[in-house]
Amino acid sequence: MNSRNARWLLTGVILALMLAVVIPAAYAGGGHGEDVAISETVDTAGKSGVGLFLANLYNDQRLLYALLVTGTMAVLGMFVAQVADLVLRVLGAQRK
């Protein structure tokens, strides 16, 4: 067995062991089958502007809030990647 196949085999074994431990541990807490409503809300007193908008969105439309946060994180991630690419290009590290 060459080193490339051994590496893939080791990765597969580690992944299988992680899944064998993580999935049962996630269900060990119990209560996973119950339908429990989320009762946490954000206090909007003293907030204004974007903070008030986000607090109201979180309190009233959790799915829309989650989609907005996920989209914002994706855009910021692309921005950080472009800045890192520019810095590496200036330093002379080219992608192949």
Q: What is the pLDDT of residues 44-81, one digit of tens each?
A: 899 999 999 999 999 999 999 999 999 999 999 999 99
What local confidence, expressed as pLDDT, does residue 92 receive?
85
- Comparing 35 with 20, which gets the higher pLDDT? 20
> Domain residue spans in the chain?
1-28, 49-96
Section 10-24 average pLDDT: 87
What local confidence, expressed as pLDDT, does residue 38 receive?
61
- Comparing 28 with 48, which gets the higher pLDDT? 48
The 3 state secondary structure assigned to the chain is: CCHHHHHHHHHHHHHHHHHHHHHHHHHHCCCCCCCCCCCCCCCCCCCCCHHHHHHHHHHHCHHHHHHHHHHHHHHHHHHHHHHHHHHHHHHCCCCC
- Comparing 82 with 96, which gets the higher pLDDT? 82
pTM over 0.85: no
